[in-house]
Amino acid sequence: MRKKLMMLEDLQELDLKTDGSQARIQVALAEIEALDARLQGAVAEVDATRAEIDGTEADKTALEENLAAENANIVRSEANLKGITTQKEYQAVNKEIATAKKLIAELEEQILQKIGAIEGLRAGLATKEEALKELEENIGVQKAAVSSRISEEEQSAAADAKIRAERVKEIPAGMLKRYEKLREARRGIAIVEARDGSCLGCNMQIPPQMYNNLYRGEELITCPHCQRMLVIRQEAGE
């Protein structure tokens, strides 16, 4: 039994190493996701600025169209003036022209504001695009480093899986099944050392008779408190 327990302990060591590898791979994958999200955020900001520029340009075009229409109105009104015979009509057309000129002044002011806004947005866009380019390079380097870490972990996990496949052949199926269930239930630790009368898995005292049986190493003994399989290390000279 002792030999089998030792083999099981070696298996657990390997399994814990693999657990560590898998955990590190998960962390690395999360890192890649976070890097991608950061990049997407920067891309979204650039896209939003571009959309804002397009929108402002469309507003400017609409204002320019209004301006052209008002200018055309004035030309038409001024042409109308020539055919007018009454003072009343003359006043009405002049009033139209004055209103159109006032509108034109307002439109020109608004167009200038849009031009200023577009210039500001373009300058902001250039800065954001530059920052994005830098971020892309930076994140590319970081992702490459994380990816190579992942592939190293995967290689080592694959090598360990081969070793494991060989090792489990030596362990009786029932014992292996029990070990695996215990590992699931006991946070990866199914087999623990007993030392100085205690289980090192849960630190509880083991009844003396049970402890003596452990020394004999003839049967599988589990901790009465945490149910883990117990193994005892016999120091040299013992």
Decide whether 111 or 221 has the Cβ nearer to Zn ion. Answer: 221
Cα angle 198, 201, 204; round to 5: 35
Query: Which residue's CB is nearer to Zn ion, number 12 or number 18?
Result: 12
Q: Least distance in Å: CB of 187 to Zn ion?
A: 13
Note every long-range contact of 67-76, with CB atoms under 8 Å and residues 24 or more positions apart, other chains counting: 67/104, 67/107, 67/108, 67/111, 70/100, 70/103, 70/104, 70/107, 71/104, 73/100, 74/100, 74/101, 74/104
Q: Which residues ranging from 219 to 238 are in contact with Zn ion (CB under 5 A)?
A: 223, 225-226
Task: Tell me the site size for Zn ion, rule CB under 5 A.
Answer: 6
Residue 164: CB minimum distance to Zn ion, A: 25
Q: How far is the CB of 27 from Zn ion (least distance, A)?
A: 30
Question: For Zn ion, which residue of 202, 210, 220, 232 counts as binding (CB under 5 A)?
Answer: 202
Contacts (CB under 5 A) with Zn ion, residues 180-199 = 199
> What's the distance, CA 104 to chain centroid?
52
Which residue's CB is nearer to Zn ion, number 164 or number 225?
225
* Min dist. Cβ of residue 188 to Zn ion (A): 14
Burial track 26-45 (b if 16+ CB lie within 10 A, e otherwise): eebeebeeebeeebeebeeb
Q: Which residues pair with 231 in a beta bridge?
A: 193
CB nearer to Zn ion: pick between 157 and 199:
199
Site string for Zn ion, 142-181 (x = CB under 5 A): ----------------------------------------
Work out how close the CB of 196 gets to Zn ion at its nearest, in angstroms, rounded to a whole number.
Answer: 13
User: In 3-state terms, what secondary structure has residue 228?
Assistant: coil
Of residues 102 through 131, those in contact with Zn ion by CB under 5 A are none
Residue 205 is given by DSSP the state: B
Q: Residue 183's closest CA among 208, 205, 201, 160?
A: 201
Strands of the sheet with 191-195, listed across from one edge: 198-199, 191-195, 229-231
107 versus 223: smaller Cβ distance to Zn ion: 223
Q: Which of 42, 56, 100, 201 binds Zn ion (CB under 5 A)?
A: 201
Enter the DSSP assignment of 172: -
The smaller minimum CB distance to Zn ion, of residues 111 and 223, is found at 223
Residues of this chain that bind Zn ion (CB under 5 A): 199, 201-202, 223, 225-226
